[in-house]
Structure 1
């Protein structure tokens, strides 16, 4: 989350700001899940056990304790969970996110003039703080010792905030890692949607690469486009996270490439297994774990798939804007009570 913040490069027209219908809860069978028998349940089980101990609920705690006995993964999920389809009237949307790897420095110089800020001590959770434009133009945070590192490119900084975490390659060959620390209490606005509203692009044309190119090619107008997203993310250094592990998610645990998703915790319990059936050019049926959140990830049928670290992961993540459905796996008793209560 995470860390995650606002990783939807293109259109947040999906659910943001819409009036959602009262959610419905439909209990399914595992036979209803497309491709269930073909998945690597061990891989999903390993990711689940990484965060299940953080679920503060007796039913989850019992399951997590049993998981420590190393049961057969597929049998574990089938015996102790029920698939529940949660819907709120909006169609499913899958997008992708990743962890950028950027060049930077711990010291400001001519090559690295753009600061990655830590969390200001006068930031109050939920209250409006300086806007993106005010921070960039008026520099109210400069000289307060908040700079964690410096980048060469303001657009890289913007998209680092969009992703919510990243790795910074330093001049001495070492690497530092930054994760989500907080935000300025301002609403997220999609700069991709702004370009669509202006008639510059059609919705299907918008991607991170397209936005980046447009900003570069349009000088001051490009910089002003970024200011339309008033939301600003602050970071914290998390270099203690080993390089072979993913960035920290909203549960403050490393997330896993291809097995972790960001969800709306108003509908999906963080730490819960979630079966996804993603359509599109590269369909994907897989058991994931909801370990992250994001400001643009709103609604019962909304998920952001973590694709890993670096440019290749970013290219893959940027392609994803697909329909389908996702089904939450809930402890048996919890699933039954939830479905009955909402009939």
Structure 2
């Protein structure tokens, strides 16, 4: 199956479009069609059309499909976007506490409930998204420092135990991870809720205290500084009151990415975390940036068609994105160096007037 089209939708404005690897982007978009086509009528013709495609297509067919059914629209303006990176941490863990493994990961408590305009008590803080349900009503849930000091220790909520509080903190930041136990078994864990307190970026605190220069701050440097200064790290990590609860993830193959907020297994350099106030899951977004590939290297072109599949507390704004780079230490080292401006385009559904499906290769 191939496509023929003579109309111009403006894709010439996307530098690198003609050489971009698009097959994985189309495959990732297609798995959202059962939901996005129903929620948003403008996507229904697109999702109907993709059913005619074989399960696997090459970059050429994917490129032509997007050109027929979408048009690019710049978001905010050239260079006005900002991207960061995230990854799935992998770390050693234990199923029972010990002197070595003493930092718990918690399941979601059964008294944690969402707060909205319908159930928010009078005078309840506007910035709390979750609360504790009690016999007398809703109250703020304990924050990170209080939970760290044992507020949930008698509830039987421990899912697993880690050795290092810094590793646990960054697992909270990433929202998912792969735990490896001494017997060779593994457990994938993902976000299951949070205390609702606002997220406070501790890197800003470390910079303000003069420990790392602002221009040098990235994930590897911040992690290494925290591990080298455990007493002050404990204080600083406690200044981020947001605390994440986890759930085990079943049914993922070893090669699958973690499950994002859209309920899909994330794909490296295709899945993007976005601000859901401005974008919906399944929306295609073209990212044009210069990003470092290796430590000490200058920026190299990063031009990808990404699919909105996740969200994050720190991802705020129409032109803000968080790029998923994969699993493990190497992905973490790369993701942690990304804090760069970008030009962002959304692909808006439309039907190319001159396009038609044709048989043949």
TM category (shorter chain) comes to 0.7 to 0.9
- Check if 1:162 corresponds to 2:173: yes
- Shift of residue 50, structure 1, vs aligned partner: 2.1
User: SS at 1:224's partner residue?
Assistant: helix
User: SS at 1:277's partner residue?
Assistant: strand
Alignment of 1:123-202 (within 5 A): 123-125=112-114, 126-127=129-130, 128-137=140-149, 139-202=150-213
- Look up the match of 1:12: none
User: Which structure has greater strand proportion?
Assistant: 2
Structure 2 residue corresponding to 1:104, chosen from 86, 93, 98 = 93
Structure 2 residue corresponding to 1:303, chosen from 321, 338, 350 = 321
- Shift of residue 286, structure 1, vs aligned partner: 1.2
User: SS at 2:177's partner residue?
Assistant: strand
- Look up the match of 2:45: 62
* Alpha-carbon contact 1:88-1:299 (below 8 Å) kept: no
Structure 1 gap ranges (5+): 1-27, 334-343
- Check if 1:209 corresponds to 2:227: no
Structure 2 residue corresponding to 1:252, chosen from 260, 263, 275 = 263
* Alpha-carbon contact 2:75-2:343 (below 8 Å) kept: no
Give per-residue Cα distances to partners, 1:179-204, cap 9 Å, x unaligned: 01011111111111111122222222
- Check if 1:53 corresponds to 2:71: no
Give per-residue Cα distances to partners, 1:64-111, cap 9 Å, x unaligned: 232121173212111111112222899321111000001001222222
- Check if 1:44 corresponds to 2:25: yes
TM-score calculated relative to the size of structure 1: 0.85
Structure 2 gap ranges (5+): 1-8, 55-60, 115-128, 131-139, 292-298, 352-361
| Aligned-residue RMSD, C-alpha | 1.8
Across the two proteins, how many residue pairs are aligned to each other? 305
- Look up the match of 2:76: 87
User: SS at 1:261's partner residue?
Assistant: strand
Give per-residue Cα distances to partners, 1:37-73, cap 9 Å, x unaligned: 1112212111111223221222223322321211732
Partners of 1:255 and 1:113 in 2: how far apart? Answer: 30
Highest Rg: 1 or 2?
2
- Look up the match of 1:313: 331
TM-score calculated relative to the size of structure 2: 0.81
- Look up the match of 2:284: 273
